[in-house]
Amino acid sequence: MKNTSGALAGLKVIDLSRVLAGPFCTQILGDHGAEVIKIEPPNGDETRSWGPFSPEGSAYYSGINRNKHHASVDLSKQEGRALLLRLLEGADVLIHNFKVGTLERWGLGYEDVLSGRFPKLIYCHITGFGDDGPLGGLPGYDSVVQAITGCMSVNGSPNSGPTRVGMSIVDIGTGMNALAAILLAALERERSGLGQKLDVSLYDCALTYLHPHAAGYLQTGAVPARSGNQHPSIAPYEEFATRTGPMFLGVGNDGQFIAVCKFLACTELSADPRFATNALRVQHRDALHDLLQVVLNEQDAEELSTRLLRSGIPASAIKDVPDVLAAPHTIHRKMILEDGDYKALGIPIKLSRTPGALRSLPKPLGSDSRDVCRAAGLSDAEIDRMVAERIVFEKPGR
């Protein structure tokens, strides 16, 4: 029997993060049952103003902020920070991406204040470059970090030059690493009874994407080159044209190469000594590509790639976003969540007994401010005063 309360039921998270990495992390926590209290500044998470927009508001914001309580507090004011401390009394996790030193200036530093007052607290700080070092404390943004960590240098083709990865892959990956860090710390806390500070930076996370490029350079001195849609170490593992559009063929080993040549009725290629091993195929990649391209020119990308995939040979037509979101397998995997006008990507982590679920929709700024304050022990009169004094907000700027 499934437990619909979620694997993380009972975990309380105070989320001060904004934009993408932190909110993506806390949405996953919320999907799996954690109580997430998102506290935004008076003007809200800046992504609320980022398009595209639906009648419900920013699709960017709503796509990563479900399953949360939505409150708005001015933490630059002493009484706002006092409210935060009250909320931390029963919290397991505090996550934020303020600039280095901000919470310290507010008298809420981890080492100086929070670790002593809340010894079980798991404190997760997401930064651009970490707290210290030559770049420590500087602001980090996904595309800039892609540039500064070398990710752009290996993305694109020799003709295109360095190219930004089209998704916010550094932010998303950093959010996933923050999630892992929180769960690691929660597991360790079961043994020690203590929380700890988690230092998760976009810079470090982006560097981990440089495999195998970094490993190749560190161990052999080989300088990575841009290879477009080709794999630097495997062939044929690249894009081909077909009659109906581009497709990608991913042949990962010698056995698959023999199989694909048999499937495509071009066994002379697998018998060619130039292509006998993967290392030789990489060496003669251009010749192999041209010969395979002749075979694939008049094929139907979708039909052929489906047959290849069902035969155990990795291949796919190169699809666009609308096609992927409407694909039968996307629907079968429940990777689209819908509730009224709300539509967003679903929950990728599938647990058999304690599955994630859509429990609450993203809400306008400050919608849950009163409930959050009441949960912290404030009376309605106190809340009224704090709203009037612009410490707590029930709507943007008010």
For residues 162 and 40, state if they share a domain.
Answer: yes
For residues 140 and 282, state if they share a domain.
Answer: no
Name every residue whose Cβ is closer than 8 Å to that of residue 315 and which is 6 or more positions away in sequence: 247, 248, 249, 250, 304, 305, 308, 309
Tell whether 229 is covered by a domain: no
Tell whether 91 is covered by a domain: yes
Its sign, for the CA torsion 274, 276, 281, 283, is negative
In this predicted model, what pLDDT tens digit does every residue of 238-266 receive, in sequence order? 999 999 999 999 998 999 999 999 999 99
- Which band of pLDDT confidence, cut at 50, 70 and 90, is reported for residue 5? confident
Q: Which two tokens stand for residue 128?
A: 């651009």
Q: Above 70 in pLDDT, residue 397?
A: no
DSSP state of 385: H
**Alpha carbon 176 to chain centroid, angstroms:** 5
Give per-residue burial for 351-376: e unless 16+ CB within 10 Å, then b. eeebbbbbeebbbebbbbbbebbebb
* CA 26 – CA 67 distance, rounded (Å): 9
* CA 145 – CA 259 distance, rounded (Å): 41
Tell whether 5 is covered by a domain: no
In this predicted model, what pLDDT tens digit does every residue of 135-159 receive, in sequence order? 999 999 999 999 999 999 999 998 9
User: Phi/psi of residue 274, each to 5°?
Assistant: -65, -20
Q: What pLDDT shows up at residue 3?
A: 57
DSSP state of 374: H
pTM attached to this predicted model: 0.94
Query: Partners of 73 in the beta sheet?
Result: 392
* CA 173 – CA 176 distance, rounded (Å): 5
Residue from 211, 231, 284, 332 carrying the catalytic annotation: 231
Q: Which of 326, 355, 376 marks a domain boundary?
A: 326
CATH number of the domain enclosing 261: 3.30.1540.10
Q: Above 50 in pLDDT, residue 1?
A: no
- Average per-residue pLDDT for the chain: 95
C-alpha closest to that of 292 among 260, 253, 254 = 260
Percent of the chain with pLDDT over 90: 93
C-alpha closest to that of 140 among 170, 169, 109 = 170
Tell whether 332 is covered by a domain: no
Average pLDDT of 195-211?
97
Place of tokens 């066994």: 267
Tell whether 283 is covered by a domain: yes
Q: Which two tokens stand for residue 143?
A: 């595309």
In this predicted model, what pLDDT tens digit does every residue of 56-104 receive, in sequence order? 789 999 999 999 999 999 999 999 999 999 999 999 999 999 999 999 9
Q: What is the DSSP string of 170-184?
A: HHHHHHHHHHHHHHH
Tell whether 230 is covered by a domain: no
Q: What pLDDT shows up at residue 162?
A: 94
Q: How many domains does the chain have?
A: 2
Q: Is the peptide bond before 212 cis (omega within 30 degrees of 0)?
A: yes
Q: Above 70 in pLDDT, residue 4?
A: no
Measured N-to-C along each axis, helices 169-192 and 21-31 cross at an angle, to the nearest 10 degrees, of 50
For residues 345 and 279, state if they share a domain.
Answer: no
Q: Above 60 in pLDDT, residue 195?
A: yes
Average pLDDT of 382-395?
96
Q: Above 80 in pLDDT, residue 363?
A: yes
* CA 14 – CA 95 distance, rounded (Å): 6
Tell whether 217 is covered by a domain: no
Angle at 242 between CA 238 and CA 243, to 5 degrees: 170
231 catalytic, yes or no? Answer: yes
For residues 314 and 344, state if they share a domain.
Answer: no
Which residues constitute the domain of residue 33? Answer: 12-209+339-393
For residues 100 and 123, state if they share a domain.
Answer: yes
Q: What is the DSSP string of 250-312?
A: E--SHHHHHHHHHHTT-HHHHHSGGGSSHHHHHHTHHHHHHHHHHHHTTS-HHHHHHHHHHTT
